[in-house]
Amino acid sequence: MNARKPQPLPGVTLSEDDGVRYLHLDTPWIQGGMRIRAPQVVEIDYIQRMLAALLWLPSEALADGAAVQLGLGAGALTRFTAQQLKMDTTVVELNPQVIAANQRHFHLPREALVVKGDAADWLAQAAAGSVRLLFVDLYDHEAAAPVLDDAGFYAACHRVLQEGGVMAVNLFGRDASFHESIDRIAGVFGSEHTWSLRPTRQGNSVAVAGRGVVLPPREELLLRAAQLEQRFGRLKLLARQWPRMIRPFQPPS
């Protein structure tokens, strides 16, 4: 991975609208959100799409293995894997103000291991094949492009995934930026193990990639989606919509 010059960390600000508390990094860009009276509800559209990675895992074994989130945001993924799936959960976050805001305002689960540090450094020391479900949501305060987005970074993600493990990456940004990023992911994981989901209205494009996984047949995909929605529908998990959002990776022409 390319060495990066340390940048000053932005401050954290909060806003509230229509019962939802949002986290910002010194800009109007939303870095995450939580419904105040129902903190387990999955409120943000792109988080829903990141959770679509669950479709690549057998329904009867969702809680197996370890989940890791690189980038805490407002903690929605951490709350879900630690408290809903009951998975061993680790979250890596560089900005101590984001961690503090989650502890005070976003119900950061006590069950989760919180690591204050750089995601690239954490990947470098993590045991190979130790992660089953990896979420990558690494954006600076301007939310223009991922902070870590080179082939070396995605190779490190691939290394820590166990066989059958799955990664979801938030690739919010311009179309050109998305295609460059998913090309890098496919170059590491393989074209046949890389997919994307239809972008949100806000422009978030989520890529899913796995280590030795394939997309289940449509009947199994629909069954898994129905089971997820039946189990977590109270959290606004609209899993039945996910299968029709999935797109296979298309190599550049």
Average pLDDT along the chain: 92
Q: How many CB atoms lie within 10 A of CB 143?
A: 19
The tens digit of pLDDT for each residue in 67-78 reads 999 999 999 999
Is pLDDT at 22 greater than 90 in this prediction? yes
Phi, psi dihedral angles at 55 (to 5 degrees): -65, -20
The beta-carbon contacts of 195-199 under 8 Å, at least 24 apart in sequence, are 195/246, 195/247, 195/248, 195/249, 196/171, 196/246, 196/247, 196/249, 197/49, 197/52, 197/242, 197/245, 197/246, 197/247, 198/245, 198/247
Nearest to 244 by CA among 218, 207, 214: 218
Q: How confident is the model at residue 37 (pLDDT cuts 50, 70, 90)?
A: very high
Query: Kindly report the CA angle at 171 between 229 and 18, in degrees rounded to 5?
Result: 55
Please give the pLDDT value at position 9.
84
Under 8 Å between Cβ of 11 and 3? no
**Angstrom distance (rounded) from CA 226 to CA 239:** 7
Q: How confident is the model at residue 252 (pLDDT cuts 50, 70, 90)?
A: confident
Q: How confident is the model at residue 31 (pLDDT cuts 50, 70, 90)?
A: confident
Is pLDDT at 2 greater than 50 in this prediction? no
Strand pairing category for 131-136 and 161-170: parallel
The tens digit of pLDDT for each residue in 146-165 reads 678 899 999 999 999 999 99
The sign of the dihedral angle between the CA atoms of 121, 166, 55, 150 is positive
Q: How confident is the model at residue 10 (pLDDT cuts 50, 70, 90)?
A: confident
The tens digit of pLDDT for each residue in 84-143 reads 999 999 999 999 999 999 999 999 999 999 999 999 999 999 999 999 999 999 975 455
Burial of 18 (0-12, 13-18, 19+ CB in 10 A): exposed
Q: How confident is the model at residue 145 (pLDDT cuts 50, 70, 90)?
A: low
User: Tell me, what amino acid is at 181?
Assistant: S
Please give the pLDDT value at position 146.
66
Please give the pLDDT value at position 3.
46
Please give the pLDDT value at position 6.
57
Phi, psi dihedral angles at 86 (to 5 degrees): 60, 35
User: Tell me, what amino acid is at 183?
Assistant: D
The tens digit of pLDDT for each residue in 177-189 reads 888 999 999 999 9
Nearest to 103 by CA among 89, 92, 114: 114
The tens digit of pLDDT for each residue in 198-249 reads 999 888 899 999 999 999 999 999 999 999 999 999 999 999 999 999 999 9
Please give the pLDDT value at position 25.
87
**Angstrom distance (rounded) from CA 129 to CA 150:** 20
Longest dimension (CA), the chain: 49
Collapsing DSSP to helix, strand or coil, 235 comes out as helix
**Angstrom distance (rounded) from CA 179 to CA 202:** 17
Mean pLDDT of 34-38: 97
